[in-house]
Structure 1
Amino acid sequence: VHEGRFLALVLLMASVVGCSGFGAGGYSEVRIENVTLKMPLTDAQPASVIFDIAWENSFRDDLNWDAVWLFVKFREPGQSWRHAGISPVPSAHRIGENNGVLATLAPSEDGRGIFLHRADDGFSSIDWDQVSLSWPLMGDGVARSTPVEIEVIALQMVNIPEGPFMVGDGTTVAALLAAQFERGLSQQPFEINSEAAITLGGGGENSLGNHNRRVSSATAQQFWDDFSNESKQTLPAEFPKGFRSFYVMKSELTQGEYARFLNLIDTSQQGTRNPFPNVSVGEEHRYAISSDAPFRVVPYNRAANWLSWMDVAAFADWSGLRPMSELEFEKAARGDRYPGPGEFAWGPEAPPAGKYVLQDNDTPEELISNQGPGANVAFDGTIGLVSSVSGPLRVGAFVPLAASRLGFGGSYYRVTEMSGNVAEMVVTVGRSVGRRYQGRHGDGELSPAGNAAGEEVEWWPGARRAARGGYEVLNADGIGTRGGDWTFGIRRLQVSDREDINKPADHRGMRWGGRLVRSVDR
């Protein structure tokens, strides 16, 4: 289904290998240049944040499209960086020169940011000049006479369309069971066809079962789901189930993106969010962010590891995004196709055997010199702890030499690394602390201690009332991981594998990274 679209994208990607100049100050694959702030004539008028933006491998077809999520940070003299509230009115923003590719500008209703994406079908690079975002100064208490520094940040995203999809894959082989979802007791996939409440467990025909929460003997009972064939729970209507359209980060959070985040928060917040003190010398496993501010990293596009859930939650709040649920994970990985038993994000084909060898190691152009013609993925069989690599690859590492979706390990919706590289932190449906999640977005601001904070995170996993008042994400209760990583074997790579869904990422680990989402406004 739609295999032609994958071939077209791969040909486009191959055509731009070797292009240079991308990366905003060495932090991102999106190039943002010529940033200026045009102040209005009166305080009642909005300012204009003006810049040029470019990125490679943009696409749109009858199924979905890629986009960038843009947001603005500003700083007044002697003050901390703050999140700018841009106008929620689409007509308030414009692009001066589209260079032949029509654009859609879709600001969020809460003013936390704006999605930019191509308006028409096509596959090409994006190069838009004189993008102008409207910033109502009065909303942020800024006078037009105040000298202000600004930073424009862009995260690459992929749209996941609204519609029904299946969870679970029909696995019946006892050795492969890892609490995969099923319809009742049928051992068949379960269809998510709305955002309505779902009965979990109990064995009913229309319930969402979990193979009686069967997992490997290595997983202690304390990490099992709290529903089974005999016991029921309810997944509330407010929990994001993936039926509604959302955007997901195109690739895993990179070390460059995390370094830029560290540079745009206060010193006290950096002390909380800097992973370096937890990374032992000789055990970095490709973690490359410098130890102190200003934070630097080469290469900027390597997947971030050594993160805890509290780190990822802080980045989500700071960027106006939110955690991904485990149901949304399955949709982003599989699409709306009927599942096959034991399938991976790219399909049913088995991962390769043999360790990868890197070319241009420690550069943004890093390649796999012995990349195979079939499926490619970073897991224990190709990397692992005992190899010359021993850590995550750069995001999209397989794309330049791939001849198909299979070759770069992409999901149905062209999301990369949904299987392997670093483990994806997602909200579990298997515990009450996960099921209370309501999918609210971050507001761009952290607590003084550097934690995700505010009324919007009250129902996020790990949120607790803080001593200073309000809510902060202080632990990882309700968060697990899906998709496997560079240290685990084949089983964890399977889209429906839930072996680690109730094991909280409550400390910094060499295999843990992040990927975040944002709901499409109604």
Structure 2
Amino acid sequence: MRKTFMLICTVLCIHAVFANDIQVANTGLTNQNTGTHTTQIKFDVSWKNSWRTSTNEANYDGAWIFVKYRKLNTTLWQHCTLNPAGFSAPSGSSIKVSGDGKGLWIYRNANGIGDVNFTNGRVVWNYGNDGVLDTDSCEIQVYALEMVYVPQGAFYLGSGGTESYAFKDSSSSSPFRVLGEGTINYGTSNGNLYSAAGGAGYTISASYPKGFAAFWCMKYECSQQQYVDFLNNLDLARASVNGISSFTGTHPALIAANPERAMGGISTSYFLAFTDWAGLRPMTEMEYEKACRGANIFPLPNEYAWGSTTGVPANAVNNDGTSSESYNAAANVNSNFLGRMARCGGFATVSTASNRELSGATYYGIMEMSGNGMERVVRLANIPPVMAFSSTVHGDGNIAASGAANVQNWIDIATNSTLNFGTRGSGFGNGLSNLYCISDRTFMISFFGDAGNNFSFRVVRTAA
């Protein structure tokens, strides 16, 4: 008698904050096909404050959903390979499976704003490709991250303001317009990209992600809960080298003290391991400016991520440490008052959610890109590993036995992380200043460390 396939199914949702409240429910496995060695994964997903618009920003939010499995009586969770065809999108939604099958995006299929609840979604798991036999029993965990779609389009680097080391057109102090993903010349010749940091001329490789092409970006910085869910999904050996001591409890039931707050103290190795595990990739500093400023928007000198030159730092806290933690009504940035990370999405309320400046949102609706945690990004520099960094290379979902990311180019970049990475947007430890401006590159040129309490991260994936 054949053993029943997939006897066990468990659910685990990465959920970041009250402001989004993303939830995965009713997961399961159904409709096994032993001829094709596939089965369907079913799920519901819901989150708050969703949108889709065809005017102005012409973008939408969504969720990146990925699935882990382990065979019964084993400890190693591995990444499910999804089939790009055969899915069933819930009513009101669209689904797109990534080209490498590492996950899927789900998002509104029509314009709208407000909460979404997508039920009875289905996607095909190619379990045979993952080394699972028809007779194996497995359990799965389904994860969801809120993301924002940043559409293709030309945009400007630099603002023409007084930010340190900002990008500019070589022949003036004017912003430089990025018109495509092809090679770009850096240097002092007419029409080149340049910066106040100077340096010898070189050609930026076509592979380096420049922000022109469409990509998805995490809506919030990685939260404590997201990071602890990552650790709990690893085996103990891998988890032990990725910051396990930051949490209470016993692995694999670690507990985050403040699950809704952005995760601080993240080193480059931790950040890359999470990114590989989630099937995503690091963001470049060019993509950071595009995600903040938007396409075809001429910059305002010295603008912050919310598109103005004024900001109101948080200077009071309500419901401290809870899922409803909030700040003084006018606040839109966490600079030096709190002395720690704010709740992810904490500056967006029902009354401010549709107002970019009041909520501290970027042009596309991405939160806390100025202040809170320093955003770790891949530096633009004439360094071989950086020039080899590619928009088409993402994590495969399975990190090395050592606990590190095993994407070779990322390893090469991380060997000198203080040279090849930097941070944008500043963090909670600095007073509101030019450091928080979209185009300020102070900590790209003089990166001062690898794992300060100010350091958080968010990651991206090319929209293909």
Structure 1 outlier segments of 4+, above 3 Å: 23-28, 502-507
Give how far 1:349 is off. 3.4
Contact 2:262 2:373 in 1 (8 A): yes
The answer to whether 1:449 aligns with 2:445 is: no
The answer to whether 1:306 aligns with 2:275 is: no
Contact 1:308 1:505 in 2 (8 A): no
Aligned to 1:199: 185
CA distance in 2: counterparts of 1:299 and 1:415, whole angstroms: 21
- Tell me which amino acid in the other structure corresponds to 1:483: G
User: Per the alignment, in what secondary structure is the counterpart of residue 94 of structure 1?
Assistant: coil
Aligned to 1:94: 88
Return closer, same or farther for 1:274/1:505 CA change in 2, 3 Å cut-off.
farther
CA distance in 2: counterparts of 1:255 and 1:325, whole angstroms: 23
Give how far 1:35 is off. 1.6
User: Per the alignment, in what secondary structure is the counterpart of residue 70 of structure 1?
Assistant: strand
Return closer, same or farther for 1:367/1:209 CA change in 2, 3 Å cut-off.
same
Contact 1:76 1:147 in 2 (8 A): yes
User: Per the alignment, in what secondary structure is the counterpart of residue 57 of structure 1?
Assistant: strand
Residue number among 458, 478, 494 corresponding to 2:408 in the alignment: 458
Residue number among 60, 81, 92 corresponding to 1:85 in the alignment: 81
User: Per the alignment, in what secondary structure is the counterpart of residue 152 of structure 2?
Assistant: coil
User: Per the alignment, in what secondary structure is the counterpart of residue 459 of structure 1?
Assistant: helix
Aligned to 1:397: 346
- Tell me which amino acid in the other structure corresponds to 2:238: Q
Give how far 1:445 is off. 0.8
Give how far 1:503 is off. 4.4
Q: TM-score, normalised by structure 2?
A: 0.90
Alignment of 1:89-488 (within 5 A): 89=85, 92-95=86-89, 98=91, 102-171=92-161, 176-201=162-187, 203-211=188-196, 213=197, 227-228=198-199, 231-274=200-243, 276=245, 289-290=247-248, 292-293=250-251, 294-336=253-295, 337-352=297-312, 356-368=315-327, 370-372=328-330, 376-380=332-336, 383=337, 389-400=338-349, 402-403=351-352, 404-432=355-383, 433-439=385-391, 440-453=393-406, 457-460=407-410, 462-463=411-412, 473=414, 475-476=416-417, 477-488=419-430
Larger mean Cα displacement after TM superposition, 33-42 or 355-364: 33-42
- Tell me which amino acid in the other structure corresponds to 1:438: S
User: Per the alignment, in what secondary structure is the counterpart of residue 290 of structure 2?
Assistant: helix
Return closer, same or farther for 1:167/1:291 CA change in 2, 3 Å cut-off.
farther
The answer to whether 1:518 aligns with 2:461 is: yes
Contact 1:35 1:49 in 2 (8 A): yes
Contact 1:51 1:132 in 2 (8 A): yes
- Tell me which amino acid in the other structure corresponds to 2:265: W
Give how far 1:497 is off. 0.1
Give how far 1:341 is off. 0.9
Contact 2:62 2:107 in 1 (8 A): yes
Return closer, same or farther for 1:505/1:66 CA change in 2, 3 Å cut-off.
farther
Give how far 1:27 is off. 5.8
CA distance in 2: counterparts of 1:138 and 1:505, whole angstroms: 47
Contact 1:479 1:502 in 2 (8 A): no
Contact 1:310 1:506 in 2 (8 A): no
User: Per the alignment, in what secondary structure is the counterpart of residue 500 of structure 1?
Assistant: helix
Give how far 1:57 is off. 0.9
Deviations 1:1-53 (A, max 9, x none): xxxxxxxxxxxxxxxxxxxxxx9486663111122122615253411111211
Give how far 1:409 is off. 0.5
Task: Provide the alpha-carbon RMSD of the alignment.
Answer: 1.9
- Tell me which amino acid in the other structure corresponds to 1:160: V
Question: What count of residue pairs does the alignment treat as equivalent?
Answer: 438
Aligned to 2:8: none
Aligned to 2:40: 48
Aligned to 1:286: none
Contact 1:43 1:144 in 2 (8 A): no
Contact 1:325 1:427 in 2 (8 A): yes
Larger mean Cα displacement after TM superposition, 501-510 or 113-122: 501-510
Structure 1 unaligned residues grouped into runs of 5+: 1-22, 214-226, 278-288, 384-388, 465-472
Contact 2:218 2:458 in 1 (8 A): yes
Return closer, same or farther for 1:321/1:503 CA change in 2, 3 Å cut-off.
farther
Give how far 1:60 is off. 0.4
Return closer, same or farther for 1:50/1:197 CA change in 2, 3 Å cut-off.
same
Give how far 1:495 is off. 0.2
Return closer, same or farther for 1:41/1:458 CA change in 2, 3 Å cut-off.
closer
Give how far 1:348 is off. 2.0
User: Per the alignment, in what secondary structure is the counterpart of residue 306 of structure 2?
Assistant: coil
CA distance in 2: counterparts of 1:518 and 1:444, whole angstroms: 13
User: Per the alignment, in what secondary structure is the counterpart of residue 133 of structure 1?
Assistant: strand
Give how far 1:362 is off. 1.0
- Tell me which amino acid in the other structure corresponds to 1:425: R
CA distance in 2: counterparts of 1:38 and 1:415, whole angstroms: 36
Aligned-pair identity (%): 30
User: Per the alignment, in what secondary structure is the counterpart of residue 185 of structure 2?
Assistant: strand
Return closer, same or farther for 1:188/1:296 CA change in 2, 3 Å cut-off.
same
Aligned to 2:4: none
Q: TM-score, normalised by structure 1?
A: 0.80
